[in-house]
Structure 1
Amino acid sequence: MKARAVAPISPPDDPLSDDGLERLFSSLNEAPGILAAVSGGPDSMALMQSLARWASLGRRPPIHVATVDHGLRPEAADEAAFVAREAALLSLPHRTLAWSGQKPVSGIQEAAREARYRLLVEHAREAAASHLVTAHTLDDQAETVMMRLSRGSGLSGLAGMRRGTDRQGIRHVRPFLGLPKSHLLDHCRQQGWRFVSDPSNADERYARVRWRRLMPLLAAEGLTAERLARLAERAAQADEALDIKAWEAFDRGEPSLEAGTLSFPAQILTDEPFDIALRVLELALTQAGLDLDNSRLRRLEACTERLRQAAGAREALSLTIAGAHLRLTQAGRVYLGPEPPRHRGR
């Protein structure tokens, strides 16, 4: 059923005007189906209302709405029911997705994030939706960059959230990533769109909330959300360029994969600049099915440096990282495979 048209009040140059929505959602036109993640806050309610308006302007893919109830707050069930009622007014099908089971004592936000996307991706598949849409904003991007900077992230981490990324075959897009949160809040108030306030957004036990409180102080010194987001864009561009060069170097080495062990000439690591060599090693790990998370960047850097030094000296070397065993022969070839099981003494 087609979503009910919402009369626009925005000026023509507003990103949430009819013309602005066409630009914001242009990547969704060819999608077989769309799943919008809506929590009930002003950002996500603006997303749902904007998608409904966009759908009323032409022939669009079917739009589904989902709210994740993490089971961490008693109010969450009522908030999900609120979203369901608002979605029904727009003739949009809604589903509440519950995160059940025991919750971790520490790292709850990261665990909740992983559970949220797992549930959303599963539901997207059930709904025959190819695209997952979330309402991340410019402010969210700035906070993400600062959090990753504080953890010593590399270039990939400083690129922040991408406008489009793949999640197990589902395309995750963030059309509001260039919009300030204040613009969406003002728009909700002007249009009379109802929303709820999540008290956890003011809970300073969470790192993102603490960074959010610091952002006005940083902005007063010139480090605004817009400049942090621009830093992320530049980092993403540089990251993409380095990835391309790393792929080219990796392919030139004509890597071989036999019986679960990948091998390539160590000369790739010594001939290329350090950052390209680092990415070649990361790429080799991925190609061998041994994925490496961002928290192990320092370990990967140390391994790359040791391999480069040993290869330059024509020495053999054996080391492990992230469940992988790396072996460099004196002949100058790197062999990479799963780490063998460790045998403990009686």
Structure 2
Amino acid sequence: MLDFLKSEPQNIVVVGDAFVRPETMERAVRASRVNAAEVSRVFWGNEDKDDFAARQMNLEKNGPEAEPWAEGLAPLLKDCTVLMTHFSPVPRGLIDRAPKLRAVLTCRGGMEHIDVKAAGERKIPVINVIRNAVPVAEFALGLMLAMTRNIASSHHRLMEGEWLKEFPNSGFVSTLGSLTVGLVGLGNVGMELAIRLKALEVPLIVQDDYLDRDRMKRNGLGDVTIVETKEDVFRLADLVSLHLRLTPETRGIIDQSCFSLMKPSSYLINTARGGLVNQADLIDALRRHAIAGAALDVFDREPLTPEDGFAGLDNVVITPHIAGATVDAIPNSPFLLMRTVDKILTQGLKDRIVNYKEIFSD
């Protein structure tokens, strides 16, 4: 499929940053099946991780044109055949200045920092890696338990000296197996979460406009209930967990119209993207106790401030966008990525070629 990566010598440029080091990227490339004739290292940004977080948020909200390329990258583009990045942006202008570019690799799942359309127009495959699907799925499951069983709330009250056993949801606290969990989006994180919930014998319903039923069957989810619309999920589920990408079409689609469908005993879980949810509508629903609660790891504006409206609510669990932050996932992502590339070369794996249909449509 991409045999040129191993059959022909490649001039590879790796662009690392404060979280994924360029030297780690080079080691991963040289340990793979790719014919790495030359590897050049570039560093994007600086060592300030707070600055990195701000740049990341800007790219996720505004796309690959929102931040400058890595300093020192431009002179290397003329001969670059493979570009490997973590979060350094790959806009159309960069692609246009790389006449020999034949593949773009990224050490993450999100594509906000890459102009995938521009790459597709040049028939350049973009290959990503799902490095944190399992960590985020585990975290989402943890948030469900923390919210429904009052783990976080009771801890907070005990730390303040209160021995409290009554909470706003005390009248309907249940085991997970007695609740129906609805997943809006069944991509990589949603799939991993569904596998874990199924193992715990939790009733599931799922909705995804691009549902891969064969993949569901391969993962033992062939008998899971599929519903047609996200509104069906909000109407039927006791816990609604979001697993959608943030796009112009999905921004703000979870709003009052969805919350009004939920039972007063239902909860919202969001470990995907804060921008999916109309935050003002959610806070209003929480204040009125129109829904039982929400557990959130992501927000439309980060970091949160007291003015964002969550302070003082007694039916919310919030964490500072840490669902995917494990010590193994991000630093090791170059090796995970190159193992994915090796599977493409040896097994014809196509799931991680983001623009596969555009590249191989002819």
TM over 0.5: no
**Higher Cα Rg, which structure:** 1
**TM-score if structure 1 supplies the norm length?**
0.29
- Larger RCO, structure (CA 8 Å, separation 6 or more): 2
**TM-score if structure 2 supplies the norm length?**
0.28
